[in-house]
Structure 1
C-alpha cells in the first residue's frame, strides 16, 4: 500500500493506541499466572497478535471480551512445538526464555526482517542456566529445551534490553534463585517497565536503586492473575506530538509523563527545539513555534530516532542526535534508512563513526520514498511531508500495522487544508 502526504497544517485531538511494549509484557505474564487475567485497553496490532499466538501455543486460553479487552486463562502447558513470533523482536526475546521453562523442545520461528536480526546474545546465557539451545548461527529459528535452573549468569546488555526483560520474567519460576549480571545495559527505562509489570502480577525483582548491572531474582515465585488497563503508547504519540510542533497544534490524550516508557523523553527534545508544550495529567499539547536546532541523546530511547529526525528537519540549523549504534538491529538499519530517505526529501543527514547523527533543517521536497517495511520510518516520513509543497509518496506504508494500525486515519483526521 502506498500513501501520499502533502502540505497541511494540523489541529486536533488524538488518542494513540495502547503501548504494545506494556501489552506484550502483560500478555506474557498472563500466561505464567495460573487463573484468569483481564487486560483492558489493548490495541490489536501485529505485534500484539504475535504475542497472543505465542501464549496460546504455550497453553493459555484467550477470550476476546470486546474490541479492546481480553481475558486470559494462564498456565504453561505447551500445545505446540513451535512458537511463531511474526516480525516482533520483543516477542522473540520474551518468549524464548519463557519457552525454556518447559522440558519439551520448542522452536522459535520468525519472519521478514526478524530473520536477519542477531539473536546470539540469548544463546550462552540460556546455556549457563541449563537450557539446551540449538541455534541457526545466531539467527532464528532457535530451539530451546528446559527447564531453566537459575544460578549466576552474565548477559551482554549493550545491544538491547529485550532479552533481559525475557529473563526477568522467566527466572522467578526457576527452582533456584538467580543473580543476573548485565554488562553495559542500555534502554534501561524498558527494564523499569518490565519490573513494574512483574510487580503488578505479584513478583519481586531486586536491584540497587538506579543500578541496572545486577539483579537478584528469587526462584519458585508465583505470578498472580490480575485486572490491568494498558496505558497509552508514547512511541506512537511521539510522532503525533512532532506533527504539532512542525505543522500546527496537536493534543494527545491518554498519556502521562509519569509513565515508565522510554519515549516520554520526546518532551525534553520538543522543549529543547522550542516547541510550545502544555503538560497536563493525562494529555500533552504541542504547538508550532520557530524551532531551533537541538542536541539529544537517544541511547536509551532509540525508537524516538525517526520522530526526532522529522523534528530536526523543521528546526533552523544543525541538530545532533546521539546513539545511532542502537539502530542497526531494528526493523531496518534505521540510521542508514533515515539518511537515505530524508536525502530524497532534500535534507542533509550525516552519520559519524562516533554514533552521532547530524540533520540540517530545510525545505521538504516532493519525492517517492520507501518505508523499508519499518513502521516508525513510515510515520516519520508522513509527518515530515506535512511541510512539503508537493506530494511525498510513501511506499509500503501498511507497515504501520505493526504498532499503530490507524496512524494514517488519525493523521488525516487532524489535517487542515
Structure 2
C-alpha cells in the first residue's frame, strides 16, 4: 500500500483523455475469445480487473497479447475453443470476470473452478448461479460465494426475470444463451448497462429488444454461425470521468474538458443527477465509437443543490455513489439515497465504508439500510482516512481531500488501478497537489 497526502486545491484546469471503459474492455476480451478470428481492442483499459480477465482467458487456452499498455489482441478460437484449465482460474478481485465467465463456462465440455482473492470471495455468486441453473447449468457455490465449480452441460433456453438489476448477471445469462438449444429471454424492470447486447449484435448475434409497460424484454437467438471478430476502440470510461467531473465542480475557479467519454444512456445516471444538482456541464461533439455514443464533457465550478435518488436511477449510477456522497457534502440541503442496498455487496459495503470515512472528515452523513442521508454544505477537515482497498472509495476520498481544510492522508491509493490506472497523474496534470509515500 502507498499512502497519499492530499492538499486543498485552489483550481483545476485543462484537457484530459481517460483510460478506456472498464465494462467494455472486459467484454471485448471475453467475446473476442469466442469469436472465430482475431479481435483487436485499442484504448484497452489495463486495469487490475481487466488484466484479471486476460489472465483467466489465458488459463482457458486463449492467446491474449498486450503489445502495448493500451492495446489488446485476442486470438479467438470460436464458441468451443476453450481448453480445460489445469488449475482453478484466478479472477483476482474482479466480479465481472467471475460472473461473466460463469455464463461462458456453463456449456463447455469440462469442469472448471473459478476463484479469486479474499475481497472477491466475499461477493455473492448465487445471483448468477441460480438463473443459469434454470437453463440446465450445473454450478456449485460455497454457501453462495466463490469458489465456483462449473460442470459443463447442454443448456436450454428459458425465460428469466432478473430479481436484482445487474448487468453482470444479465451478461452471464446472454453468454450462456449463445450455447442454448433455443432462445433465451430476460425480463428486466430497470435498465442495466447494455454493452453486451451492443457488442453481440455487432458480432452477428440476433438479439431482439422490446420494451412494454416498464419491462425490457431481451431475447437472444442462439447463433448457427461463428461469431465475427471485432476491431474496436474503447471509449473513455464514464465511471472514471465521474471523479474528474466531481473534482472540477468542487474546486474553485475550475474549468476542465474530458475527451472521448462514453455516454451510453444506461451508464450516465450520475450525469442526470449532476444536472439536477445544478452542475454546469456541457456535452460537445457527440458521435458513435465502437457502436457506443461518445462525446466530450466540459465542466466548471458550480454551486450544487441537494437531491433525492431512488428507483431506476440507482441502477444507472450504481458505481458513482461514493463520489456522489462527496459532492453531497458540499451541496445545499439534504441529499437522500434510497433503494441502493446493492452497494453493500460491492468491493466493500459501500454504504458503511463511505459513511464511516466521510464522517471522519467531518461530513454530516447518516447510514440507512438501503442508502444514506447527507446534510450540506459541510466544512471537511483533513485527517487520516482509509480506502478499505476499494478503488472507487479511494478516488472519492482523494476528491474530498481537494476541498478539505488541511491535509488528508489516504492509506492506500494503489487500488485505484483496479479501474483507473494513472488516476494520480491525471489529477496532477489538472493542478491537484499530493505527495505519495
Q: TM-score with structure 1 length normalisation?
A: 0.93
Match of 1:146 in 2: 152
Match of 1:322 in 2: 338
| Backbone CA RMSD of aligned residues | 1.9
Superposition pairs for residues 16-27 of structure 1, below 5 Å?
A: 16-27=18-29
CA distance in 2, matches of 1:239, 1:157: 30
**Which of 97, 109, 114 matches 2:115?**
109
Pair 15,39 (structure 1): closer, same or farther in 2 beyond 3 Å: same
Offset, 1:320: 2.0
**Which of 305, 308, 313 matches 1:292?**
305
Offset, 1:289: 2.2
Unaligned runs of 5+ in 2: 286-294
Match of 1:58 in 2: 60
8 Å CA contact retained: 1:322, 1:356: yes
Match of 2:192 in 1: 189
**Which of 354, 358, 361 matches 1:338?**
354
Offset, 1:181: 4.1
1:3-44 CA distance string (max 9 Å, x none): 111211211222111101011111110011021111111021
1:400 aligns with 2:413: no
**Which of 173, 176, 182 matches 1:177?**
182
**Which of 216, 229, 233 matches 2:233?**
229
**Which of 89, 93, 103 matches 2:95?**
89
Number of aligned positions between the proteins: 410
**Which of 296, 302, 308 matches 1:283?**
296
SS of match in other structure, 2:322: helix
221-230 or 208-217, which moves further after superposition? Answer: 208-217
CA distance in 2, matches of 1:129, 1:357: 37
**Which of 218, 222, 236 matches 2:221?**
218
SS of match in other structure, 1:208: strand
Offset, 1:155: 5.0
Match of 2:292 in 1: none
8 Å CA contact retained: 1:346, 1:364: yes
**Which of 321, 325, 333 matches 1:305?**
321
8 Å CA contact retained: 2:58, 2:64: yes
1:240 aligns with 2:244: yes
Unaligned runs of 5+ in 1: none
8 Å CA contact retained: 2:206, 2:223: no
SS of match in other structure, 2:158: strand
Offset, 1:189: 3.3
Q: TM-score with structure 2 length normalisation?
A: 0.89
Pair 157,32 (structure 1): closer, same or farther in 2 beyond 3 Å: farther
SS of match in other structure, 1:404: coil
1:207 aligns with 2:206: no
Pair 215,17 (structure 1): closer, same or farther in 2 beyond 3 Å: same
**Which of 363, 371, 382 matches 1:366?**
382
8 Å CA contact retained: 2:257, 2:298: yes
Match of 2:365 in 1: 349
1:296-354 CA distance string (max 9 Å, x none): 3342121010121111111122222333212011000001111100000100112334x
Offset, 1:95: 0.2
Pair 283,111 (structure 1): closer, same or farther in 2 beyond 3 Å: same
CA distance in 2, matches of 1:62, 1:260: 30
CA distance in 2, matches of 1:375, 1:252: 20
8 Å CA contact retained: 1:172, 1:217: yes
CA distance in 1, matches of 2:360, 2:432: 25
Pair 379,161 (structure 1): closer, same or farther in 2 beyond 3 Å: same
SS of match in other structure, 1:206: strand
8 Å CA contact retained: 1:310, 1:384: yes
